Chain A
Amino acid sequence: MGEHGTHHILSYGKLAAVLGCLLMLTVVTIGVSYVDLGFFNVPVAIGIASTKATLVLLFFMHLKYEGPLIVWSFISAVIFLAIMITFTFWDVAFRY
């Protein structure tokens, strides 16, 4: 076990607070979906989903308390995903 090997214990209260935020954001995203924001429909929906995903990753998946190896390898995976999406879109957008 390394220095950061000791597992962080999250309190029930903190986990419940995270659940509360997640449920609230779910209600918000359902509510917003009934309002036509034109171009912003998709960015707002993805923005709320990303916020929820961040909460799950940081607290439920303990990413906030992990060492640099897991944190940076996760960030690398996200960067790879971003590159994959961007390059595909460049191709699709400028094909015709």
Chain B
Amino acid sequence: MSTRYDTTGIKVGMWIFLYSEIILFGGLFVLYAVYFYRYPEFFVEGGKELNRFFGSANTIVLLISSFTVASSITALQLGRKKLTIGLLSFSLICGFIFLVNKYFEWGAKFHHGIYPNSEKLVEGEPGINIFFGLYYVITGLHGLHVIIGMVLLAISLVMVAKDIITPQRIAMLDNSGLYWHLVDLIWIFVFPLFYLVL
């Protein structure tokens, strides 16, 4: 039995998985849209409670990390292994900074009594409760994707170092990169919907 290396098949498989992720987050955004339509004034009020500085900083961190991941694939294809490893390490640091920011952001909200099933949310306006419910579900699920993306990038980094991922055989790094860009893609919509609602 011969083992053929099907580049196109590997890539198509990854994309099909990404479609399921897009539909998953799409469903949550539909939920957001419907409740925004119903409680616009409370969504604006809730949005003002969120820290724009953290939101903007995390947007920039994710965009830069997406760039370094895309560059690491270029670097590998050009046969520059050390640069590839450097760029991937930098991307991992960006992911870590994102999570640390998220930790402080959620921590501050918890401190102010805003967390799922907290007295302030349950006794208060339903519009605010729904806004923060969606905020925790969507940013939480997104955060989980950041962690999975970091694991995939870390595995790719080790595989590049051990010459398992080579310029001739980049699928693992390529697909991990696609996953990381998806994480960025989702945040691009999360940011204006939650932090920038007027």
Contacts of B198 in A (CB 8 A): 33, 36, 41
Q: For the complex, is B139 an interface residue (Cβ under 8 Å from A)?
A: no
A92 with B60, Cβ < 8 A, contacts A9-B74, A60-B70, A81-B22 known: no
A29, B181: Cβ atoms under 8 Å?
A: no
Interface residues of A in 72-94 (CB under 8 A from B): 73-74, 77-78, 80-81, 84-85, 88-89, 92-93
Q: For the complex, is B166 an interface residue (Cβ under 8 Å from A)?
A: no
A77, B77: Cβ atoms under 8 Å?
A: no
Interface residues of A in 29-49 (CB under 8 A from B): 29-30, 33, 36, 41-42, 45-46, 48-49
Instruction: State the CA gap A45–B191 with chains docked (Å).
Output: 10
A74 to chain B: closest residue by CB = B15
Q: For the complex, is B34 an interface residue (Cβ under 8 Å from A)?
A: yes
Number of interface residues of A (CB under 8 A): 49
Contacts of B33 in A (CB 8 A): 85, 88-89
Give the size category of B's interface with A. Answer: 35 or more
B64, A52: Cβ atoms under 8 Å?
A: no
Shortest CB–CB separation between residue B194 and chain A, in angstroms? 11
A29, B30: Cβ atoms under 8 Å?
A: no
B170, A73: Cβ atoms under 8 Å?
A: no
Contacts of B36 in A (CB 8 A): 42
A29 to chain B: closest residue by CB = B192
Contacts of B30 in A (CB 8 A): 84-85, 88
Question: Could you mark each residue 60-101 of chain B with 1 if its beta carbon is under 8 Å from any beta carbon of chain A, else 0?
Answer: 100110110111001001100000000000000000000000
Contacts of B63 in A (CB 8 A): 19, 22-23, 26
B78, A9: Cβ atoms under 8 Å?
A: yes
Q: A1-B7, A69-B12 are in contact. List 14 more A-B contacts (CB 8 A).
A: A1-B8, A4-B8, A5-B7, A9-B77, A15-B71, A19-B63, A30-B196, A42-B36, A46-B192, A53-B188, A66-B11, A81-B22, A88-B30, A89-B33
Chain A interfacial positions (CB closer than 8 Å to B)? 1-2, 4-5, 7, 9-12, 15-16, 18-19, 22-23, 26, 29-30, 33, 36, 41-42, 45-46, 48-49, 52-53, 56-57, 59-61, 66-67, 69-70, 73-74, 77-78, 80-81, 84-85, 88-89, 92-93
